[in-house]
Amino acid sequence: MLFSENFEKLIQTLNRFPGIGRKTAQRLAWFMVSQDKNFALNLAETIITTVESFKTCSKCNMLSESDPCPYCTSVERLDSHLCVVENSSDIQILEGMNEYKGRYFVLGHLLSPLDGYGPEQINSQQLMERILTLHPTEIILALKPSAEGEATIHYLWELLKDKEINITRLSTGIPFGGDLEYSNLNTLSNAWKRRYIVQ
C-alpha cells in the first residue's frame, strides 16, 4: 500500500474520536483527500474557529463561548438545585429532557487514580466553592454508573455528607458502564425522575 506520512497522521488523528475505529478513520481520511480541496479546507477552518471560540466557564467549568456561560447567567435557572456531570456534553443531553431548571457543575473527569485523575483533576475544590455560593438544597450527581463513577459519587458524598444538602443520584435506569449520551431520552428521564438519596 502506498505510504504517506501525512495521510497516516490524518488517520491517527481521526482514530482518536470516540467510536471511530481505524477502518472508519481510513474511510474518512480517503473521503477528505478525494473531495474538492475546498471541502477539507473549509472543514479545517470551521474546526479552528469553533475550538478557539470555546472557553471554560469560571463558575461551573462548562465549555462555552461566553464566561460565565448561559446557564450561570440565566435568571430563570434555580440556585436551589445543582446538577454535577462529568462532561460539558452531558449538559446538552440532560437539557433535552426538559425536566431540569437548576444550575450545573462540570467535573471534567471522574476519579481514576490509575489514569492520573485525583480530586484536583475533577475540580472538587471549585465544586465546593460553587456550592458555598449557590447554597443549593439538592445536589444531583448525574454521573455514569461505572467503577470510576461510583468512586466519584462516594468521594463527593464524603465531602458533602455533613452539610444540610440532599445528595441524590440517578436511578438504575442507566445500565452499569453506560454513558449518558448513549441513553435514550425516555430511559434518562425515568432515571432522573427516580433519583434517590446517596448514603
What residue segments make up the domains of the chain, in order of their start? Answer: 5-53, 56-197
Q: Are 123 and 155 in contact (CB under 8 A)?
A: no
Calculate the average pLDDT of the chain. Answer: 88
Handedness of CA 29, 31, 34, 37 (dihedral sign): negative
Residue 81 has pLDDT above 80, yes or no: yes
How much is the average pLDDT of 175-187?
55
Q: According to the CATH classification, is domain 56-197 in 3.40.1360.10?
A: yes
In 3D, which of 20, 35, 26, 18 has the Cα closest to residue 1?
Answer: 26
CA 75, 78, 80, 81 dihedral sign is negative
Of 98 and 82, which is predicted with more confidence? 82
pLDDT for residue 170: 82
Mean pLDDT of 140-162: 91
CA dihedral 113, 56, 198, 142 (to 10 degrees): -100
Which residues, including other chains, have CB under 8 Å from residue 86's CB and lie 6 or more apart? Answer: 106, 107, 108, 109, 110, 143, 144, 149
Residue 180 has pLDDT above 70, yes or no: no
Type of residue numbered 58? S
Q: Which residue has the higher pLDDT, 114 or 183?
A: 114
Q: Is the dihedral of CA 182, 187, 193, 195 positive or negative?
A: negative
Question: pLDDT-derived band of residue 107, with 50, 70 and 90 as boundaries?
Answer: very high
**pLDDT digits 0-9 by tens, 9-56:** 999 999 999 889 999 999 999 999 999 999 999 999 999 999 999 999
One-letter amino acid for residue 74 of the chain: S
pLDDT band at 160 (very low <50, low <70, confident <90, very high): very high
Helix (H) or strand (E) segment spanning residue 50:
helix 37-53
What whole-number distance in Å separates Cα of residue 35 and Cα of residue 31? 6
pLDDT for position 176: 46
In this structure, of 41-50, 62-71, 145-154, the range with the lowest mean pLDDT score is 145-154
Label the pairing between strands 166-169 and 102-106.
unpaired
What kind of architecture, by CATH, is found in domain 5-53? Orthogonal Bundle (1.10)
Sign of torsion, CA 196 167 182 74?
A: positive
